[in-house]
């Protein structure tokens, strides 16, 4: 198995993005699966072009994207990506789409094809806080998750894909009172556990465990 794992460059005034910093620290092989790492630009549409080029180059079985979600206190595999860009802040090319469809010919939403419940369970077994997220937002993270699943649907059938959000790391919250953070080491440990779950559940349905949210 080959897994392409991608993370964004810093955005929103931050000097670091824990997503890509964690990816760089992952091993090159997990449970016999090859791990291919890449950084993506936090730019609407360009990020999908860069990622698709890499997919065509390395032909992975799994496409896993990682992004920063400041304010969250755990690793959160995303359940669904919606077909809308509605940017609260500009991206790194100063684009700020408002209520725009990502793909005019795409469905309203795509669900992750990764075993998100098994991933959460495995992360918790590694003593890393984790839960299923039912909203990937409407910024570039949701955008790339939707684009990945659209790519798979239209051009790369047989592959699987999805997205995980990670919290700030401690150095990012020094000037952000009451914002949660997670050590980079724990983010790496959690991502590795999530990858192990993807490998273990290959070809199987996800586990049935509680992961819903009231609000």
Angstrom CA distances, 60 to 52, 63, 114, 175, stand at 11, 7, 14, 39
Catalytic residue, from 141, 143, 166, 196: name it: 141
Contacts of 162 (CB under 8 A, 6+ apart): 63, 64, 65, 77, 78, 112, 113, 114, 116, 145, 148, 149
Query: Pick the catalytic residue: 65, 121, 143, 165?
Result: 165
Our answer to whether residue 34 is catalytic in this structure is no
Q: Which of 78, 121, 166, 196 is catalytic?
A: 78
Is 143 an active-site residue?
no
CB 136 within 8 A of CB 197: no
Among 142, 129, 60, 66, CA closest to 101? 142
165 is catalytic: yes
Evaluate whether 87 touches 98 at the Cβ level (below 8 Å): yes
32 within 8 A of 41, measured Cβ to Cβ? no
Q: Which residue has the tokens 């890393």?
A: 128
The residues that are catalytic are 78, 141, 165
């Amino acid at each position: 198995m080959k897994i392409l794992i991608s993370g964004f460059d810093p955005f929103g005034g931050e000097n670091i993005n824990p997503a890509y910093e964690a990816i760089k620290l992952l091993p090159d092989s997990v449970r016999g699966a090859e791990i291919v790492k890449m950084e993506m630009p936090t730019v609407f549409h360009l990020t999908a072009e860069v990622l698709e080029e890499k997919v065509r180059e390395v032909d992975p079985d799994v496409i896993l994207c990682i992004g920063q979600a400041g304010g969250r206190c755990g690793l959160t595999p995303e359940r669904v990506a919606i077909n809308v860009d509605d940017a609260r802040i500009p991206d790194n090319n100063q684009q700020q789409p408002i209520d725009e469809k990502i793909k005019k010919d795409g469905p309203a939403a795509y669900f992750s094809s990764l075993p998100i419940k098994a991933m959460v369970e495995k992360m918790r077994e590694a003593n890393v806080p984790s839960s299923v997220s039912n909203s990937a937002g409407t910024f570039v993270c949701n955008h790339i998750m939707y684009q990945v699943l659209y790519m798979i649907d239209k051009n790369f059938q047989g592959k699987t894909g999805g997205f995980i959000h990670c919290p700030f790391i401690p150095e990012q919250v020094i000037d952000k009172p009451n914002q949660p953070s997670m050590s980079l080491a724990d983010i790496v440990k959690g991502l590795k556990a999530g990858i192990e779950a993807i490998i273990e559940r290959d070809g199987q349905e996800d586990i049935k465990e509680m992961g819903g949210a009231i609000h």
